[in-house]
């Protein structure tokens, strides 16, 4: 821990029922909005590969669904790899990043156990996959012609980003937070000790 720091909050990701319920509600909202948004887009004439798949019979539809499932799995794997990359880039030399999962809440995660980051860097770490992976999936779909599959993968990946968004909201909503310590169970938030020049009280 750095001099002048004191803990002002934390998120126990896998044990905080209120946090998990908020994340789940946000995920459902994303899925619902994505479904209605996709239907509206394709009703308005956006290109769609579904008729071609249907024309190919049950095999064509199964192949499309299998492709969406595989691409979604890859998107979540890349999500954690992007977290890991930013953990390494913003962490001290020789910092160690691990991967894990919690089957009880169906979450996978990357972790830089015990490393303290500035609030700005931690915000970049938690939000990077939302931007990079979703953007990549959308771009690949646009260039490949699989716009429906791309939309579905983007929506599913977006729905899996909500935990990151709640981390970011917790940081942004409390200006006292100056540093964040990554933990396998979640994150610790630190502010300055009283009398150390914290002007955000």
Q: Please check whether residue 145 is in contact with residue 48, taking contact to mean a CB–CB distance below 8 angstroms.
A: no
| pLDDT tens readout for residues 138-188 | 898 878 878 888 999 999 999 999 999 999 999 999 999 999 999 999 999
Fill in the DSSP letter of residue 51.
Answer: H
What is the per-residue pLDDT for 2? 58
| pLDDT tens readout for residues 51-109 | 787 888 888 889 989 999 999 999 999 999 999 999 999 999 888 999 999 888 888 99
What is the per-residue pLDDT for 196? 47
Q: Please check whether residue 163 is in contact with residue 172, taking contact to mean a CB–CB distance below 8 angstroms.
A: no
- Model confidence at 194, pLDDT cuts 50, 70, 90, reads low
CA angle, corner 33, sides to 61 and 123, nearest 5? Answer: 110
Ranges of each domain in the chain: 5-192
């Amino acid at each position: 821990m750095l001099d002048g720091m004191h803990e002002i909050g934390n998120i126990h990701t896998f044990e905080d029922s209120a946090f998990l319920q908020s994340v789940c509600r946000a995920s459902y909202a994303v899925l619902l909005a994505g479904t209605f948004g996709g239907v509206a887009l394709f009703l308005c004439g956006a290109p769609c590969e579904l008729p071609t798949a249907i024309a190919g019979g049950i095999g064509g539809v199964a192949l499309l669904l299998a492709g969406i499932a595989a691409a979604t799995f890859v998107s979540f794997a890349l999500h954690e790899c992007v977290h890991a990359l930013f953990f390494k880039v913003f962490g001290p030399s020789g910092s160690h990043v691990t991967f894990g999962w919690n089957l009880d809440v169906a979450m996978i995660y990357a972790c830089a156990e015990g490393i303290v980051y500035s609030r700005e860097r931690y915000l970049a770490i938690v939000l990077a996959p939302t931007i990079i992976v979703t953007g990549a999936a959308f771009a690949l779909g646009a260039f490949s012609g699989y716009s429906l599959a791309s939309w579905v993968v983007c929506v599913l990946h977006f729905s899996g980003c909500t935990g990151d968004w709640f981390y970011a909201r917790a940081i942004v909503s409390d200006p006292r937070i100056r540093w964040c310590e990554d933990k396998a169970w979640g994150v610790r938030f630190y502010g300055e000790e009283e009398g150390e020049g914290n002007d955000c009280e």
